[in-house]
């Protein structure tokens, strides 16, 4: 059976995850079939048992786009209902200002008489205990009142360091779904959509070649397609192959650059990444760096080892082989590798 991507129409006020690409749908391929099912279930008339809906995944996979689709469908099903949407950073900022100015009552009033509440990027206040406690009280009040809640985060709540156990428990009471980087079927659908919007033909071979490029994130794929389609002529396989070669050659990545991006993604220092620490997140960050250095640079095992704390080349090879296996079997590792790729783009 040929795998395909199911389009979830994007509301007119948001054309893509980053607003850089005028895509007309969120394309849920087989890798995001759970997200598609969650969308249909949560936006049905009787979805109370799925409350809250927690959506998590690395940057640039379409969480915000997906949530906007949820809001749009929810409004269609529940006409005239009030929706409040707030970013995690903004919630924390407003709460802090309300505490300092003794206006908590005013701050809390904005969350009254609503029917759908969305908090984006929960991970932004994981270490702010007072903010979390305020959100916990808000969550309980809204949930008891039957308000539908949607939460987005970079990681699943159980994996967020510093999140209050009580809040983790509340978020686990509904439906938690991952959104993972798009597979080939979804990328194919996006490229066809982009080609139709730009009214420029791209051959089937060229489209498939670009969609299958494993070194590229979905953002890379769309940016490459945009640059080719903007030329105003039909795009064939040779155009795509040349564009891929040029993009890879232009990257000039080093292990040091990859280490910095990986450390930033895991919120650790490069010094810690290169250290002998065996903390789980540090070991994973080190493995991701080695995997991407082998994949994206021409550096030798010895060179990669020197850049990562003067490690022996046999140690680097061991980690590289282990990561090659994990990147195809462990979703957390896959997500981390794709997220760092996107930072490097």
Interatomic CA distance for residues 203 and 242, integer angstroms: 15
Q: Is the pLDDT of residue 19 over 80?
A: no
Confidence of residue 118 (pLDDT cuts 50, 70, 90): very high
Confidence of residue 92 (pLDDT cuts 50, 70, 90): very high
Confidence of residue 293 (pLDDT cuts 50, 70, 90): confident
The fold for domain 6-178 equals: Rossmann fold (3.40.50)
pLDDT at residue 88, rounded to an integer:
92
Average of per-residue pLDDT across 293-310: 86
pLDDT at residue 17, rounded to an integer:
42
58-67 pLDDT, tens digit per residue, is 887 889 889 9
Confidence of residue 167 (pLDDT cuts 50, 70, 90): very high
What residues contact 72, with CB distance under 8 A and at least 6 apart?
A: 9, 10, 11
Confidence of residue 20 (pLDDT cuts 50, 70, 90): low
Q: Is the pLDDT of residue 3 over 70?
A: no
Task: Tell me, letter by letter, the H, E, C secondary structure of 126-188.
Answer: CCCHHHHHHHHHHHHHHHHCCCEEEEEECCCHHHCCCCCHHHHHHHCCCEEEECCCCCHHHHH
Interatomic CA distance for residues 36 and 43, integer angstroms: 11
Confidence of residue 76 (pLDDT cuts 50, 70, 90): confident
**What is the DSSP pairing of strand 83-87 with strand 6-9?**
unpaired
Say which CATH class 255-344 falls into.
Answer: mainly alpha
Higher confidence at residue 248 or residue 2? 248
pLDDT at residue 206, rounded to an integer:
93
Higher confidence at residue 45 or residue 16? 45
Q: Does domain 184-251 have CATH number 1.10.8.60?
A: yes
Structural domain spans, the chain: 6-178, 184-251, 255-344
Average pLDDT, the chain: 87
Confidence of residue 300 (pLDDT cuts 50, 70, 90): confident
Model-level pTM?
0.69
Interatomic CA distance for residues 236 and 207, integer angstroms: 8
Q: Is the pLDDT of residue 152 over 90?
A: yes
21-57 pLDDT, tens digit per residue, is 778 889 999 999 999 999 988 887 665 668 899 999 9
Q: Is the pLDDT of residue 314 over 70?
A: yes
> What are 206's two structure tokens?
């060229």
pLDDT at residue 55, rounded to an integer:
96
Write out the DSSP string of 7-62: EEEPPTT--SSSSSS--SEEEE-GGGHHHHHHHHHHTSSS-GGGPSEEEE--TTSS
pLDDT at residue 14, rounded to an integer:
53
Average of per-residue pLDDT across 235-243: 90
Q: Is the pLDDT of residue 83 over 80?
A: yes
pLDDT at residue 16, rounded to an integer:
43
pLDDT at residue 1, rounded to an integer:
36
């Amino acid at each position: 059976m040929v795998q395909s991507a199911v389009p979830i129409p994007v509301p007119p006020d948001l054309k893509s995850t980053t607003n850089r690409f005028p895509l007309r749908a969120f394309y849920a391929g087989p890798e995001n079939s759970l997200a598609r099912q969650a969308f249909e279930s949560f936006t049905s008339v009787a979805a109370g048992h799925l409350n809250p809906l927690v959506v998590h995944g690395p940057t640039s996979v379409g969480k915000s786009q997906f949530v906007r689709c949820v809001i749009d469908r929810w409004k269609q099903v529940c006409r005239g209902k009030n929706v409040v949407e707030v970013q995690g950073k903004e919630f924390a900022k407003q709460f802090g200002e309300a505490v300092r100015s003794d206006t908590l009552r005013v701050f809390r009033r904005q969350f009254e008489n609503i029917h759908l509440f969305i908090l984006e990027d929960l991970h932004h206040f994981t270490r702010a205990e007072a903010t979390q406690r305020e959100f916990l009280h808000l969550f309980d009040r809204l949930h008891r009142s039957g308000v539908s809640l949607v939460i987005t985060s970079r990681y699943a709540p159980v994996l967020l360091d510093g999140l209050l156990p009580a809040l983790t428990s509340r978020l686990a009471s509904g439906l938690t779904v991952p959104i993972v980087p798009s597979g080939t079927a979804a990328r194919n659908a996006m490229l066809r959509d982009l080609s139709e919007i730009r009214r420029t033909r791209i051959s089937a071979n060229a489209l498939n070649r670009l969609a299958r490029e494993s070194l590229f994130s979905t953002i890379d794929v769309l940016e490459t397609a945009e640059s080719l389609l903007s030329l105003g002529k039909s795009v064939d396989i040779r155009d795509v192959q040349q564009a891929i070669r040029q993009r890879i050659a232009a990257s000039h990545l080093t292990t040091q650059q990859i280490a910095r991006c990986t450390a930033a993604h895991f919120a650790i220092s490069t010094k810690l990444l290169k250290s002998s620490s065996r903390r789980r997140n540090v070991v994973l960050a080190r493995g991701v760096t080695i995997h991407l250095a082998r994949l994206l640079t021409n550096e030798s095992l010895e060179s990669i080892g020197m850049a990562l704390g003067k490690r022996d080349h046999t140690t680097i090879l061991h980690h590289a082989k282990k990561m090659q296996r994990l990147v195809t079997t462990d979703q957390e590792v896959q997500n981390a590798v794709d997220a760092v790729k996107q930072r490097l783009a």
